[in-house]
A and B are shown apart, each in its own frame.
Chain A
C-alpha cells in the first residue's frame, strides 16, 4: 500500500505495524513520535497500530532550536 511518510510517498506491505515501519526505516533506536492524519499514535500502541492506504504519517524528533 501507499503511505505518505514525512511528505514522501512510500510503498509498504499492507499489514505493517507502526513498530515494523520504524524498524523498516532504520529508526528503531531513535526517540521519536508519530502522528497519522494529524492524530498522535501513542508509543504504547506501536506494536498493534496498523495503517490505512493513503495515511499521512509524520515521524518527528527533537532537534536544536530556539
Chain B
C-alpha cells in the first residue's frame, strides 16, 4: 500500500477568485473566429473554461437565422458570460456597450473592458480606458480590464476598483507570446487583484510561461480558434495552464551556470 498521500488537484485546492467568486479553471476563452457554432461549443468544452467572452453587436434585421445562437449553444447558466467592449475606440462607446450587455444578460454586471487605440496594433487607449473604468465602476459594474503591460497603469486600474487587471502578452491575435515577461512579473508582484494575461499567446508553452510568471489566469481566443485543430489546441491550452500553475506553485529551481549531478557520487564502484 502506498503511504504517499495523494495531493488534491490544484484546481480544487487553488481556485481562481474573481470578485469573491471561485472558478476552477484559470483559462478564459473567447468565442469568436470559429468556423461554426458547433466548433465553438466543442472548443469551449475542451478548454474547460468557465468564463467565456462574448461580443455585443447589432441584431440582423430581416435575415433568417442560419444557425443556433450563442446563448443557446453556450447557456449562461452553465458559463459565466464576460461581455467585452471589443471594437470600441472611446470610453463612451465602451460604457454604452457594457450597459447594453447588462440589460441583455438580465443585470449580469461582470464585463471585460477594452478601449482600443488604433486598428493596426489594437493596443489599449489608456486614457479612454481609465475614463471608462471610472464610469463603469461608479455604475456598479465589475470590471475586468484589458491593458498594456505597464505596471504603473495596472496598479492604477486596481486602485480604481477593477476586479481583475489583464495585461496583454502581445498584440491581440498576434500569437507572439509574452513579449515582456519582466513587466508581467512586476505587475503580478504589485497586484492584489487577479492578473490575467489577455491576448497575444500563440501556443501552449506561451500560456504555461504566463502561469509560471505568477499570473492568475490567461484569456485567449485566436490561439485556439485559429489553430489548425481548435479543439485539440483548446485541450492543450487547458493542460498548459494547469501545468504552468503547478510549476509556479511548486517553485522552480534557481538557474545555475554549471551542472550538478543527479546521481550520488558516493558508492560508485568504477
Measuring CB to CB, which residues of chain A are less than 8 angstroms from any residue of chain B?
5-8, 25-27, 30-35, 38, 40, 42-43, 58-66
* A42 closest partner in B (C-beta): B103
> When the two chains form their complex, are residues B30 and A62 in contact, meaning their CB atoms are under 8 A apart?
no
Counting chain B residues whose Cβ lies within 8 A of the other chain, the interface size class is 35 or more
> When the two chains form their complex, are residues A64 and B100 in contact, meaning their CB atoms are under 8 A apart?
no
List, in ascending order, chain A residues with CB within 8 A of B54's CB. 62-65
Measuring CB to CB, which residues of chain B are less than 8 angstroms from any residue of chain A?
30-34, 37, 40, 53-59, 61-62, 69-71, 81, 83-84, 86, 96, 99-101, 103-105, 172-173, 220-222, 225
* B224 closest partner in A (C-beta): A66
> When the two chains form their complex, are residues B99 and A61 in contact, meaning their CB atoms are under 8 A apart?
no
> When the two chains form their complex, are residues B86 and A66 in contact, meaning their CB atoms are under 8 A apart?
yes
Instruction: Give Cα A64–Cα B32 distance, bound, in whole angstroms.
Output: 4
The answer to whether A8 and B61 touch (CB under 8 A), given A64-B33, A65-B32, is yes
Q: Which of B40, B61, B83, B225 lies in contact with A62, CB distance below 8 A?
A: B83
27 A-B pairs with CB atoms under 8 Å apart are A6-B58, A25-B59, A27-B59, A31-B69, A33-B56, A33-B101, A33-B103, A35-B99, A40-B99, A58-B58, A58-B100, A59-B58, A60-B56, A60-B57, A60-B58, A60-B100, A61-B69, A62-B55, A62-B105, A63-B69, A64-B34, A65-B53, A65-B55, A65-B86, A65-B221, A66-B86, A66-B172
